[in-house]
Amino acid sequence: ATPAEPAVKKAAPAAEGDYQGVWVFVEQMEGEAAPVSWELMGEGRKLADKLGVELAGVILGAQVEHLVPEAFAYGADKVYIIDDPVLARYRTEPYLHGLVKLIRQYRPEIVLMGATTLGRDLSGTVATELRTGLTADCTVLDINPETRLLEQTRPAFGGNIMATILCRTRRPQMATVRPRVMAMPPRQEGRSGQVIREELGLKEEEIQTKVLEYITAGAAGVYLDKAEIIVAGGRGVGAKNWPLLEELARVLGGTVGASRAAVEAGWASPAQQVGQTGYTVRPKVYFAVGISGAIQHLVGMQTSDTIVAINNDANAPIFKIADYGIVGDAAQILPALVENFKQQ
User: Pairing relation of β-strands 149-156 and 161-165?
Assistant: antiparallel
Number of C-beta neighbours around residue 271 at 10 A = 19
Choice from 28, 132, 135, 259 touching ligand FAD (CB under 6 A): 259
Q: Does 158 bind ligand FAD (CB under 6 A)?
A: yes
Q: Does 304 bind ligand FAD (CB under 6 A)?
A: no
Q: Does 303 bind ligand FAD (CB under 6 A)?
A: no
- Please tell me the distance from the alpha carbon of residue 41 to that of residue 310, in angstroms, as a whole number: 36
Shortest Cβ 230–ligand FAD spacing (Å) = 13
CA distances from 128 to 105, 167, 344 (A): 17, 14, 55
Choice from 172, 234, 283, 325 touching ligand FAD (CB under 6 A): 234
Is 130 or 307 the residue whose CB approaches ligand FAD more closely? 307
- Please tell me the distance from the alpha carbon of residue 19 to that of residue 33, in angstroms, as a whole number: 27
Which x/- pattern over 70-89 shows residues binding ligand FAD (rule: CB under 6 A)? --------------------
- The footprint of ligand FAD on residues 174-203 (CB under 6 A) is none
- Please tell me the distance from the alpha carbon of residue 298 to that of residue 280, in angstroms, as a whole number: 9
- Please tell me the distance from the alpha carbon of residue 70 to that of residue 128, in angstroms, as a whole number: 30
- Please tell me the distance from the alpha carbon of residue 70 to that of residue 33, in angstroms, as a whole number: 9
Shortest Cβ 12–ligand FAD spacing (Å) = 36
Shortest Cβ 281–ligand FAD spacing (Å) = 11
DSSP 8-class letter at 228? S
Shortest Cβ 258–ligand FAD spacing (Å) = 7
- Please tell me the distance from the alpha carbon of residue 97 to that of residue 108, in angstroms, as a whole number: 16
Q: Does 261 bind ligand FAD (CB under 6 A)?
A: yes
Instruction: Judge residue 184's burial from the number of C-beta atoms within 10 Å of its C-beta, 0-12 exposed, 13-18 middle, 19 or more buried.
Output: middle
CA distances from 298 to 11, 57, 182, 260, 303 (A): 39, 31, 15, 12, 9
Choice from 277, 284, 306, 336 touching ligand FAD (CB under 6 A): 277
Stretch that binds ligand FAD, among 28-36, 108-116, 182-190, 272-280 (CB under 6 A): 272-280
Q: Does 266 bind ligand FAD (CB under 6 A)?
A: no
Shortest Cβ 277–ligand FAD spacing (Å) = 4
Q: Does 37 bind ligand FAD (CB under 6 A)?
A: no
Q: Which of 269, 307, 277 is nearest to 295 (CA)?
A: 277
Identity of the residue numbered 307: I
Shortest Cβ 140–ligand FAD spacing (Å) = 18
Q: Does 120 bind ligand FAD (CB under 6 A)?
A: no
Binding site for ligand FAD (CB under 6 A): 158-159, 234-236, 259-262, 273-278, 290-292, 294, 296-297, 300, 310-313, 316, 329-331
